[in-house]
Amino acid sequence: MALEGCGCAGEALNDGEILAGLYHRLRQMYQAEGGKGVEPLMKMSWHYDQPDRPESEEVAKESNGYALEDLFDASGTLLVKKGQLLDSFAQLRDDGSTASGCWIYTGSWTSKGNQMANRDNADPSGLGNTLGWAWAWPMNRRVLYNRASADLQGKPWDAKRMLIQWNGTKWVGNDIPDFSAAAPDSGVGPFIMQQEGLGRLFALDKLAEGPFPEHYEPFETPLGTNPLHPNVVSNPAARLYEADAKRMGRKQQFPYVGTTYRLTEHFHTWTKHARLNAIVQPEQFVEISEGLAKAKGIAHGDRVKVSSKRGFIKAVAVVTPRLQTLRAGGQDVETVGIPLHWGFEGVARKGYLANTLTPSIGDANSQTPEYKAFLVNIEKA
């Protein structure tokens, strides 16, 4: 199957079609051959008007959630009828009477319609809190922990930037309160995801490298040391395999910081296959500061070679004031900006894979490599 966004006219499928194809083919294989996990797959609900092409609207409603039975409150009053969309995650129950794709999306598509399609950009608060524009999870709340914007008595710390306040009976204001309806003197703290209701500067057992935030330099650092504590330069809990450690560069050979990023006109490396995207941004380039360009004798539009310990790419140099010479650890640091969208395939002008340059170092918690800070050199190609 062709992937969504491949740019192949007449062949591209949307996500619903791709997932439906996988679903039906897997079911056929399990029906014919059996295997582990067959029962949940065969009993999965798939009640779409077009089973081979579920519409986005249907999936959005599923994510919001339905009542599978009539829902009543403690006094026996009917809250939601069977089959109706839910209005709030507070209506979700753990007894099988409700279903939701993800609780944070409950309220995004209710009996009143698609709340995500709201387009009222009125901002009476002047804070940029446009509650009528689209929908924010959860509950259309725009600022998490907004109870902290008011003091212990429920009075805004800054009356000119009021998010919520206690009017003597209930909480009102320019956002959806991010906690229960408890009065200010009830002892309910603003940070409701913590058992004590208070903000923390530590993460208990949540991080691999310890409970407190700390600054570590990238494994390839132009500084050569950690300005905050020289005894530990880089994260000791990061994943670094022996073979990858042998391909770490040093600033003597690679004196500049490389960083990869995206452009507005492209999406990952996929849209280099789409002709319109290729017309708007047809050729691979790298960005450097005016200072670095002068030092290296590189002019705007020159072909350059950017290399790291792991390989090299060639591209067009864009000399720009967007990038500035930085001062860090008592020395000047230059940055080479590398958009990541090109490669040796696609209708755009062929290019190089930016991740040829990047190191294979796994973040201690997410295992994400250090794409945003590594050492490179640059010269005319």
CB atoms within 10 A of CB 108: 23
Would you state the pLDDT for residue 193?
84
Tokens of 61: 């409603």
Residue 235 has pLDDT above 80, yes or no: yes
Q: Please give the torsion angle defined by the CA atoms of residues 8, 13, 15 and 19, in that order, rounded to the nearest 10 degrees.
A: -130
Confidence of residue 121 (pLDDT cuts 50, 70, 90): very high
- List Cα–Cα distances, 128 to 142, 296, 324, in angstroms: 10, 44, 30
Contact 19, 46 (CB under 8 A): no
Would you state the pLDDT for residue 10?
60
259 CB burial (10 A radius; 0-12, 13-18, 19+): middle
Instruction: Point out which residues pair with 380 in neighbouring strands.
Output: 304
Task: Find the largest Cα–Cα distance for the chain.
Answer: 80
Measure the N-to-C terminal CA separation of the chain; round to a whole number of Å. 39
Would you state the pLDDT for residue 5?
44
Mean per-residue pLDDT over the chain, rounded? 91
- List Cα–Cα distances, 51 to 18, 47, 55, 200, in angstroms: 12, 7, 9, 47
Give me the mean pLDDT over the 296-324 stretch.
Answer: 97
Give me the mean pLDDT over the 87-107 stretch.
Answer: 95
pLDDT digits (tens, 9 = 90+) for 342-358: 988 888 888 999 999 99
Instruction: Point out which residues pair with 164 in neighbouring strands.
Output: 173
Q: Is the omega angle on the peptide bond into residue 138 within 30 degrees of 0, that is, cis?
A: yes
Residue 155 has pLDDT above 60, yes or no: yes
> Which of the pair, 63 or 265, is modelled with greater confidence?
63
Going by the DSSP 8-state scheme, the letter that residue 314 receives in this structure is: E
Residue 156 has pLDDT above 50, yes or no: yes
DSSP secondary structure string for all residues of 46-70: ---SSTTS--HHHHHHHHH-EESS-
Give me the mean pLDDT over the 76-81 stretch.
Answer: 95
Residue 7 has pLDDT above 50, yes or no: no
- Report the 3 state secondary structure along 221-277: CCCCCCCCCCCCCCCCCCECCHHHHCCCCCCCCCCEEEEEECCCCCCCCCHHHCHHH
Q: Please give the torsion angle defined by the CA atoms of residues 102, 107, 111 and 116, in that order, rounded to the nearest 10 degrees.
A: -100
Would you state the pLDDT for residue 195?
84
Residue 74 has pLDDT above 70, yes or no: yes
* Phi, psi of 312, deg, nearest 5: -150, 160
* Helix, strand or coil, per DSSP, at residue 77: coil
Residue 380 has pLDDT above 90, yes or no: yes
Question: In sequence order, which residues have a C-beta less than 8 Å from that of residue 372 and are 6 or more positions away?
Answer: 259, 260, 261
Give me the mean pLDDT over the 133-152 stretch.
Answer: 94
Cα angle vertex 296, ends 295, 302, to 5°?
130
Confidence of residue 271 (pLDDT cuts 50, 70, 90): confident
Percent share of the chain, pLDDT over 70: 97
User: Which residue's entry shows tokens 């330069």?
Assistant: 233
Tokens of 298: 């590189």
Confidence of residue 2 (pLDDT cuts 50, 70, 90): very low
Would you state the pLDDT for residue 6?
46
Residue 296 has pLDDT above 60, yes or no: yes
- Segments making up each domain of the chain, as ranges: 15-114, 118-199, 242-380
Residue 8 has pLDDT above 60, yes or no: no
Would you state the pLDDT for residue 370?
93
Q: What's the chain's length in residues?
A: 381
The CATH number of 242-380, from 2.40.50.140, 1.10.287.3510, 3.30.365.10, 2.40.40.20, is 2.40.40.20
